Amino acid sequence: MRLTAAILFSLGFVSAQRNITRIIGGKDAQQEAYPFIGLLVNFKSSSFCGASLLSDRWLVTAAHCVNGARPSDIRVTMGTNDFDIDSSRPVDEITIHSQYNTANQSNDIAVIRLSNRVNFKAIKIAKYPYVSDGETLRAIGWGLEKHNATTPASKLQEVDLTTISRDRCRKSFSSFQGNGVGAQICTGDTPGKDTCSGDSGGPLMRKADNGWLLVGVTSFGAWDNSIQLEATCGVEEVVGVYTNVMKYVSFISTATGLNRSIFT
Ligand SMILES: *[C@@H]1O[C@H](CO)[C@@H](O)[C@H](O)[C@H]1NC(C)=O
Ligand SMILES: *[C@@H]1O[C@H](CO)[C@@H](O)[C@H](O)[C@H]1NC(C)=O
Ligand SMILES: *[C@@H]1O[C@H](CO)[C@@H](O)[C@H](O)[C@H]1NC(C)=O
Ligand SMILES: *[C@@H]1O[C@H](CO)[C@@H](O)[C@H](O)[C@H]1NC(C)=O
């Protein structure tokens, strides 16, 4: 099994090291469709990620997107679908989950606080921590769009993905506990549709009557490393792994000081 969080999903402005495909099969998101999306840039590692707004100041992202960074290394752009870092905003606090494990990327979740309040609509975390196998969930991000891309998507992309069973996921990610059972969610079996470098930290969402609910944070791609791959995103052999945000409501509440009724 190979985990590729940092390399696979938060690869930066620098060139792609691997044959990487994209938020394959994605399309441009409608302007205003995802007002809670933040483009997170980490100037220390020259990489970018997604993040989701939970209140007027706090965003949730992946731990690996901000690991080792100080707040002054991180900036977030809100309110545009364009890959725009000129209008980015400063951050004054970062809290990474205390059990975040860099070796296997468990508890890959962190919250960051913007220095100033914003007036964008936040996303609510789904209340019930259960994801079924075969459920369709949507991911969005500015991650790489072609396997040999060296620049991010210029417009926010959206793609619908499908969760897969524990047994199916384990062929690529052997310690997967099951959707909704453990603290991770696994998608796959949609060759040509995937998240990729730069999509990390962004939301995996469930359609609700009136918009979207947050269920996951894009974490990493995993595959059986006895297989020779031509690409590490958007291919059948690679599964997508997401942190199950619904399992981390207490962490978020404690780290942000927000009453959970604000973001659930
Ligand atoms: C990238 O893919 C091409 C074929 O599409 C292959 O020839 C090449 O070896 C691959 N490179 C890497 C680094 O996997
Ligand atoms: C990227 O890869 C595709 C297909 O493998 C190829 O057609 C295209 O020329 C490549 N682009 C660059 C800039 O290398
Ligand atoms: C990751 O590693 C930690 C520490 O060794 C272990 O407790 C945990 O079960 C592992 N998680 C996964 C999903 O492999
Ligand atoms: C959180 O908000 C709910 C609903 O407004 C309230 O009943 C509860 O006491 C609050 N909890 C804390 C710890 O402040």
CATH number of 125-246: 2.40.10.10
Distance CA 11, CA 13 (A): 7
Q: What pLDDT was estimated at residue 150?
A: 73
Share of the chain above pLDDT 90, in %: 66
Residue spans per domain, the chain: 2-19+34-122+248-263, 125-246
Confidence of residue 237 (pLDDT cuts 50, 70, 90): confident
Residue nearest to atom 11 of ligand 4 (CA): 259
Taking phi first (over 0 means left), then psi (-120 to 50 degrees means alpha), and beta for anything else, what does residue 137 get?
Answer: beta
Does residue 18's CB lie within 6 angstroms of at least one atom of ligand 1? yes
Residue 10: C-alpha distances to residues 47, 48, 79 (Å): 6, 6, 21
pLDDT greater at residue 24 or residue 46: 46
Determine the atom of ligand 3 nearest the C-alpha atom of 177. 13
Stretch 222-242: mean pLDDT: 84
Determine the atom of ligand 1 nearest the C-alpha atom of 148. 1
Instruction: Flag whether pLDDT at 6 surpasses 50.
Output: no
Does residue 174's CB lie within 6 angstroms of at least one atom of ligand 3? no
The three-class DSSP label of residue 226 is coil
* Residue 89, strand partner residues: 76
pLDDT digits (tens, 9 = 90+) for 164-193: 999 999 999 999 999 978 899 999 998 888
Q: What ligand is nearest to the CA atom of residue 15?
A: 2
Q: Would you say domain 2-19+34-122+248-263 falls under CATH 1.10.10.10? A: no
CB burial of 168-180 (b: ≥16 within 10 Å; e: otherwise) equals: ebbbbbeebebbb
Summary mean pLDDT of the chain: 87
Distance CA 155, CA 143 (A): 10
pLDDT greater at residue 15 or residue 113: 113
State the pairing for strand pair 124-125/211-223.
parallel
pTM score, whole prediction: 0.86
Stretch 10-19: mean pLDDT: 32
